[in-house]
Structure 1
């Protein structure tokens, strides 16, 4: 239970700190840049996942016998 309290306090402290940093123009710029990098990373990961899923679907379709 004690670890859960520290975990929740850590998350709340992080949000408060991020809010305070976002108020400063330089901090806002840093957070905006960080958000753009995270968005780019998640977009690339999503694209790679969809490409791999399409390749695996093609392999499964080629291997699966058809009922004629």
Structure 2
């Protein structure tokens, strides 16, 4: 932004404050500015409520996702444990079968 544009920007803000001050001195202007202020307050309240609603929805979704991940991890851990037990049982049976075959061959 050039210095000239910045100067106009600052002059516009200062002019806005001066006009608002002069309007506020008149009872009708004061009422108008009060209405504008009330509407702005109402708007910001609605925006804040909408933000909090969205935030609550996101918190709920994140909690559901965490629960789903925890359930999936527990199921995977159970499946791995079952597979390990089945593999150990199959290895023990294979070892017994190999012993029986070896015993039969040596007799």
TM-score, length basis structure 2: 0.60
Q: 2:28 aligns with which of 26, 29, 34?
A: 26
Q: Where does structure 2 lack aligned partners over 5 or more consecutive residues?
A: 75-107
For the residues of structure 1 that align with 2:59 and 2:6, how far apart are their CA atoms?
42
Residue by residue, what CA displacement relative to the aligned partner does 1:16-62 show, whole Å, maximum 9, x if unpaired?
00000000000000000000000000000000000100101100110
Higher RCO, 1 vs 2 (CA within 8 Å, ≥6 residues apart):
1
For the residues of structure 1 that align with 2:20 and 2:31, how far apart are their CA atoms?
12
Query: Higher Cα Rg: structure 1 or 2?
Result: 2
Q: 1:11 aligns with which of 13, 33, 56?
A: 13
CA RMSD of aligned residues (A): 1.3
For the residues of structure 2 that align with 1:3 and 1:58, how far apart are their CA atoms?
48
Q: Where does structure 1 lack aligned partners over 5 or more consecutive residues?
A: none
Name the structure with the higher helix share: 2
Aligned residues: 68
